[in-house]
Amino acid sequence: MAGRQPRSLSNDDFRSEVEKWMEARGEVWVDAFFHHSGGGPFDYLLRDRNNVAEFMSKSVADAKTRGDGSATLNAFNFNCFPLRGAASEELAGRMRAAWPPGRWYHIVDLATCYPAELELLGSGDTSEDLDTDLRKLLSDHRGRLVGFGEHALDREDWFERGIDVIETTVGSRRAES
């Protein structure tokens, strides 16, 4: 059923669940959205169990300087960026063949993991977007380890696609003046 919300968990349960997912998958895509900050979420790939608590603590600290002092953290349990390899013509052809037209995709640099923000090398939902991004990928990033996949937040049909999404809120909202 489209439109279902992420499962809201306590901070401890969120950390525990993300750590379990990391053991099973080796990495987890997480984002931090700072309330009333005027910006979108910050995306990360977590690959070390010890980084889960650090990511949560960093988000609390960052929330004090962004927005209202609080942040919602989301974690996505799915095979993010399932098509991976060194940027090449062969990989670009596989990306074209794998892309479901009309769905949002991401191309990312897989060498960037927490604490660095996930480096986005391309994103879109049209064949023109994909063609432009693949040309740029081959001219500017040839040989880099990249990943390609459907964006977890596209159309909020996570559950139909087998994506388990959890969230928690960290920090404390500042009193409005």
Q: Is the pLDDT of residue 175 over 90?
A: no
pLDDT of residue 37: 76
Instruction: Tell me which residue of 80, 94, 85 sits closest to 27, measured CA to CA.
Output: 80
Instruction: Tell me which residue of 94, 53, 92 sits closest to 73, measured CA to CA.
Output: 53
Average pLDDT of every residue of the chain: 89
Q: Is the pLDDT of residue 94 over 50?
A: yes
Indicate the domain borders of the chain.
1-79+154-177, 81-151
Contacts of 175 (CB under 8 A, 6+ apart): none
Residue range 103-148, pLDDT digits in tens? 889 999 999 999 999 999 999 999 999 999 999 999 999 999 999 9
What pLDDT band is residue 66 in, cutting at 50, 70 and 90?
confident
Over residues 56-65, mean pLDDT: 93
Q: Helix 50-63 and helix 11-25: axis angle, to 10°?
A: 140
**Count of positions (residues) in the chain:** 177
Q: Which residue has the higher pLDDT, 173 or 56?
A: 56
Fold of 1-79+154-177: Dna Ligase; domain 1 (3.30.1490)
Q: Is the pLDDT of residue 61 over 90?
A: yes
